[in-house]
Chains A and B, each alone.
Chain A
Amino acid sequence: MEGVVVRGEGIRCRARTAAAYYRSYSTPALPAARRLLSSSNGVEEAAALPTSRQLCGKPRSPFAPLDLDLSLSLSLRVSTCAPSPRRRCSQVPGDVVLDLSEMTNQTIKLGTGLRQVTRLIGCTWDLQECDTIQATSAGMLRLSKPNKYWVESSQKRYIPSVEDTVLGIVVDTKPDNFVVDIKGPNLAFLPVLAFEGGTRRNIPKYEIGTLIYARVVKANSIMNPELSCMDVTGKAAEFGQLKGGYVFDSSTGMSRMLLSSPTCPVLEALGKKLSFEIAVGLNGRVWVNAPAADTVILVSNAIMRSESLSGIKQRAMVENLLERLS
């Protein structure tokens, strides 16, 4: 088989994807990356889950003005000792995660999959307020100290949140924006000028079907999300059109695993023997490019199969595939 196997050249990842992952799903592990990005973004470090969406328990009118900068925390004040729910326990829609009637003056931040339910129960002379946080989706309850909760689950569709890097496909061009499909509940808009050095004279000509690596700038549930092909400082930073290669769909959980740091075992094992280029969108799309077509096929198959495998099994599977080829 022709094909130069270069040891150690490994993976060239697009645009600091590891750091991008940690913007969306903060775990205590990487404070440095978080601090760097949040300070440049102007979001204060205290709101260390910058991309969590606010889910307000009271049904809000869809046309209420939503200020995105405010929309990071839901403050709740009640009194006394704070019971902490067990971390990493599995939730089903309707499960009560926290009972707020026994919690102290605390600010709690809710991420995806949780909502606040306030209800009055009892009879007319004995009305009690029942204030709880309930899960709205099935998954693992995660807690990030001191007070951030969210339910982690893996889906085929993507719910846009700010500062996520996604791979979109252009479905339409308008005078002011490109209309891009990012596998979410709404189509996203990419303004024609959101490129480095973009002016009316050098608008990129993207046809329908072009694959674009972009960053979500605005996302809330009622408007179409807005993308940008620049990073916060205005540089191009690997965003833009991805030419050639092969794109396939994965689940959102799989994308997060591929972007996790330390490097995911399957990518590490592949990177030791092969040289290829990969871009992972948090919306469940992966793009792979390599000089030889069989490398591309091998890498894509390895990634697609590694979804339900543990680290050791992933490495074993990759070794198996590589042996069969050589």
Chain B
Amino acid sequence: MEETRRADGRSPNQLRPFSCTGNPLHRAHGSARWAQGDTVVLAAVYGPKPGTRKGENPEKASIEVVWKPKTGQIGRQEKEYEMILKRTLQSICMLTVHPNTTTSVVLQVVGDDGSLLPCAINASCAALTFAGIPLKHLAVAIGCGVMENGAVILDTNTAEEQQLKSFAHLVFPNTRKSVDSKEPKEKDEEFERGLITSVTHGVMSEDDYFNCIERGLAASSRISDFMRKTLQKEASSVDA
């Protein structure tokens, strides 16, 4: 298969440079600023606070997501993002640890250049960890696109998303590190990883979709390592 050239010169599997700043906001209980190329999202977590909203199950903690776009009014697209984020975060948080409490996650879009939802999910996961909310595992998100010749490209930007006939945003759990790991992964870590969330746009064939998942899984381990380094750096800088 010939090398697929992308408009900005990246190879198909190459991700944009990403960075994560820990706790930039002093008032929030946990916050993170996640940047993937020009797409930047700032997530702030407040909680857990006593009391749940009306209609929520009081036997579990509830998560409330507020999405603030960069410009314009809040519309259906923002509500959809809020719902996707809420369901994803509900599946990674341990909700039974603090019943009858609310944790609010507020996301502010600072820059949008494609793969906005994956960037937001990564930012909110990092912010939840900084706030100390108990989590089962981390959520690592990546955007994949399918080109006309069937090739899969990772971390799409806005121009690519507009040209491609279909793309998907996938969220995986992070790679596990075992403290006393003598036999790494012979119990098949890959088997256990699974997929948390998948949002697709456009039409793609089944094979293309499974291709996306495979590539996405491979790339997610890179992002997961990066997240681990950031969290460790933040923890040790506070420890002094």
Q: Interface on A for B, CB 8 Å cutoff?
A: 55, 59-62, 83-86, 89-99, 113, 115, 121, 130, 134, 136-141, 153-157, 159, 185-187, 221-222, 251, 253, 307-310
Check if B176 sits within 8 Å of A136, measured CB to CB: no
Say if the beta carbon of B3 comes within 8 Å of chain A: no
Say if the beta carbon of B69 comes within 8 Å of chain A: no
Given contacts A95-B177, A138-B231, A140-B239, 10 further A-B contacts (CB under 8 A): A92-B231, A96-B179, A113-B134, A138-B129, A140-B235, A155-B29, A185-B50, A186-B98, A251-B238, A308-B237
Q: For this complex, into which size category does the number of interface residues on chain B fall?
A: 35 or more
Say if the beta carbon of B232 comes within 8 Å of chain A: yes
Check if A154 sits within 8 Å of B238, measured CB to CB: yes
Q: Which of B127-143 contact A (CB under 8 A)?
A: 129-138
Given contacts A93-B135, A137-B135, contact A157 B174 (CB under 8 A): no
Check if B136 sits within 8 Å of A93, measured CB to CB: yes
Given contacts A136-B136, A185-B101, contact A92 B179 (CB under 8 A): no
Least distance between A141 CB and chain B CB atoms (Å):
7
Say if the beta carbon of B192 comes within 8 Å of chain A: yes
Given contacts A130-B187, A308-B237, contact A92 B180 (CB under 8 A): no
Check if A139 sits within 8 Å of B30, measured CB to CB: no
Check if A136 sits within 8 Å of B134, measured CB to CB: yes
B122-161 near A? 1/0 per residue, CB < 8 Å: 0000000111111111100000000000000000000000
Check if B231 sits within 8 Å of A62, measured CB to CB: no
Least distance between B136 CB and chain A CB atoms (Å):
7
Q: Name B98's contact: one of A84, A94, A130, A185 (CB within 8 Å).
A: A185
Note all chain B residues with C-beta closer than 8 A to A62. 59, 96, 99
How far is it, in angstroms, between the C-alpha of A245 and the C-alpha of B78 when the chains are bound? 46
Least distance between B130 CB and chain A CB atoms (Å):
8
How far is it, in angstroms, between the C-alpha of A115 and the C-alpha of B136 when the chains are bound? 9
Check if B238 sits within 8 Å of A253, measured CB to CB: yes
Note all chain A residues with C-beta closer than 8 A to B48. 157, 185
Q: How many Cβ-Cβ contacts under 8 Å join chain A to chain B?
A: 128
Check if B179 sits within 8 Å of A86, measured CB to CB: yes
How far is it, in angstroms, between the C-alpha of A303 and the C-alpha of B47 when the chains are bound? 25
Say if the beta carbon of B173 comes within 8 Å of chain A: yes
Q: Name A94's contact: one of B174, B234, B238, B239 (CB within 8 Å).
A: B174
Note all chain A residues with C-beta closer than 8 A to B228. 92
Check if B240 sits within 8 Å of A307, measured CB to CB: yes
Q: Name A92's contact: one of B138, B181, B240 (CB within 8 Å).
A: B138
Least distance between A231 CB and chain B CB atoms (Å):
27
Least distance between A283 CB and chain B CB atoms (Å):
13
B40-57 near A? 1/0 per residue, CB < 8 Å: 000000011110000000
Q: Which of B96, B97, B174 has the largest number of chain A CB atoms within 10 A?
A: B97
Given contacts A92-B232, A94-B173, A155-B131, contact A221 B99 (CB under 8 A): yes
Say if the beta carbon of B178 comes within 8 Å of chain A: yes
How far is it, in angstroms, between the C-alpha of A92 and the C-alpha of B174 when the chains are bound? 10
Given contacts A137-B132, A186-B101, contact A95 B176 (CB under 8 A): yes
Least distance between B2 CB and chain A CB atoms (Å):
39
Who on chain B is nearest to A158 by CB? B132
Least distance between B129 CB and chain A CB atoms (Å):
5
Least distance between B55 CB and chain A CB atoms (Å):
18
Given contacts A121-B187, A138-B231, A155-B29, contact A85 B238 (CB under 8 A): no
How far is it, in angstroms, between the C-alpha of A293 and the C-alpha of B136 when the chains are bound? 47
Check if B180 sits within 8 Å of A98, measured CB to CB: yes
A-B contact pairs, 12 of them (CB 8 A): A90-B235, A92-B129, A92-B228, A92-B231, A98-B179, A99-B180, A115-B94, A138-B130, A138-B234, A154-B238, A157-B29, A157-B47
Given contacts A93-B135, A136-B134, contact A83 B173 (CB under 8 A): no
Note all chain A residues with C-beta closer than 8 A to B73. none
B162-181 near A? 1/0 per residue, CB < 8 Å: 00000000000110111111
How far is it, in angstroms, between the C-alpha of A186 and the C-alpha of B61 when the chains are bound? 12
Check if B238 sits within 8 Å of A308, measured CB to CB: yes
Say if the beta carbon of B71 comes within 8 Å of chain A: no
